[in-house]
Structure 1
Amino acid sequence: MRQFLSAAVMTLCAIAVTTAHAQQPEPLSAADKAATIDLLAQRLSGKYIYAEEGNKMAAAVRDHLLKGDYEKVATDAEFADLLTAHIQAAHPDKHLSIRHVPNAQPDRPRPSASQGLPPEVRQHMTEVGKYLNFSFEKVERLPGNIMYLKFNGFFEASVAGAAATAAMNLAANGSAMIIDLRDNHGGDPRMVAHVASYLLGDKKIHLSDIYYRADNETNSFWSDPAVPGAHFGADKPVYVLTSGGTFSAAEDFTYNLQAIKRITVVGETTGGGAHPIQPFRINPNLIAVIPVGRSINPITKGDWEGSGVKPDIAIAADKALTKANALALRQLLPTINYPEERSILEKKLAELETAL
Structure 2
Amino acid sequence: MIDSFFMEPNPIMRHLLSAAVMILCVIALPIAGAQEQRPAATEQQSRSLSAADKAAAVDLLAQRLSDKYVFADEGSKMAAAVRDHLLKGDYEKAATGAEFAGLLTTHIQAAHPDKHLSIRYALNAPPDRPRPSLNQGMPAEMRQRITDMGQYLNFAFEKVERLPGNIMYLKLNGFFEADIGKAAATAAMNLAANGNAMIIDLRENRGGDPRMVAHVASYLLGDHKVHLSDIYFRAENETNSFWSDPAVPGARFGADKPVYVLTSGETFSAAEDFTYNLQAIKRITVVGETTGGGAHPVQPFRIDPNLVAMIPVGRSINLITKGDWEGSGVKPDVAVAADKAMTKANALALRQVLPKISNPRERTMLEKKLAELETAL
Bin for the TM-score computed over the shorter chain: over 0.9
Equivalent position amino acid for 1:48 in 2 = Y
Distance 2:24 2:341 in 1: 28
Aligned to 1:95: 116
Deviation for aligned residue 1:201: 1.5
Aligned to 1:16: 31
Deviation for aligned residue 1:9: 3.4
Deviation for aligned residue 1:13: 5.8
Aligned to 2:92: 71
Mapping of residues 54-65 of structure 1, within 5 Å: 54-65=75-86
The farther-off stretch of 122-131 and 259-268 is 122-131
Equivalent position amino acid for 1:9 in 2 = L
Deviation for aligned residue 1:12: 3.6
Mapping of residues 30-41 of structure 1, within 5 Å: 30-41=51-62
**Structure-2 change in CA distance of 1:6 and 1:86 (3 Å):** farther
**Structure-2 change in CA distance of 1:119 and 1:194 (3 Å):** same
Verify the 8 A CA contact 1:7 1:248 in the aligned structure 2. Answer: no
Equivalent position amino acid for 1:232 in 2 = F
Distance 1:117 1:129 in 2: 15
Deviations 1:170-203 (A, max 9, x none): 1011000000000001011000000000000201
Q: Does 1:185 align with 2:206?
A: yes
Mapping of residues 123-272 of structure 1, within 5 Å: 123-272=144-293
Verify the 8 A CA contact 2:302 2:309 in the aligned structure 1. Answer: yes
Distance 1:280 1:43 in 2: 8
Distance 1:5 1:290 in 2: 19
Secondary structure of the residue that 1:149 maps to in structure 2? strand
**Structure-2 change in CA distance of 1:8 and 1:267 (3 Å):** farther
Distance 2:26 2:92 in 1: 35
Secondary structure of the residue that 1:14 maps to in structure 2? coil
Deviation for aligned residue 1:16: 1.5
**5+ residue gaps, structure 2:** 1-14
Verify the 8 A CA contact 2:26 2:299 in the aligned structure 1. Answer: no
Verify the 8 A CA contact 1:8 1:275 in the aligned structure 2. Answer: no
Deviation for aligned residue 1:127: 1.3
**Structure-2 change in CA distance of 1:209 and 1:299 (3 Å):** same
Secondary structure of the residue that 1:294 maps to in structure 2? strand
Deviation for aligned residue 1:19: 4.7
Deviation for aligned residue 1:169: 1.1
Distance 1:35 1:116 in 2: 33
Mapping of residues 273-284 of structure 1, within 5 Å: 273-284=294-305
Deviation for aligned residue 1:131: 1.3
Matched residue pairs, number?
356
Q: TM-score, normalised by structure 2?
A: 0.92
Verify the 8 A CA contact 1:107 1:279 in the aligned structure 2. Answer: yes
Q: Does 1:285 align with 2:300?
A: no
Distance 1:83 1:316 in 2: 34
Which one of the candidate residues 120, 132, 139 is aligned to 2:141? Answer: 120
Distance 1:214 1:256 in 2: 25
Verify the 8 A CA contact 2:26 2:298 in the aligned structure 1. Answer: no
**Structure-2 change in CA distance of 1:172 and 1:11 (3 Å):** same
Q: Kindly, what percent of the aligned residue pairs are identical?
A: 77
Which one of the candidate residues 343, 360, 365 is aligned to 1:339? Answer: 360
Deviation for aligned residue 1:6: 7.2
Aligned to 1:306: 327
Distance 1:290 1:3 in 2: 17
Deviation for aligned residue 1:128: 1.3
Q: TM-score, normalised by structure 1?
A: 0.97
Deviation for aligned residue 1:48: 0.3
Verify the 8 A CA contact 2:28 2:131 in the aligned structure 1. Answer: no
Aligned to 2:64: 43
Secondary structure of the residue that 1:147 maps to in structure 2? strand
Equivalent position amino acid for 1:209 in 2 = D
Distance 1:203 1:176 in 2: 21
Distance 1:159 1:88 in 2: 34
Distance 2:158 2:179 in 1: 19
Distance 1:145 1:95 in 2: 38
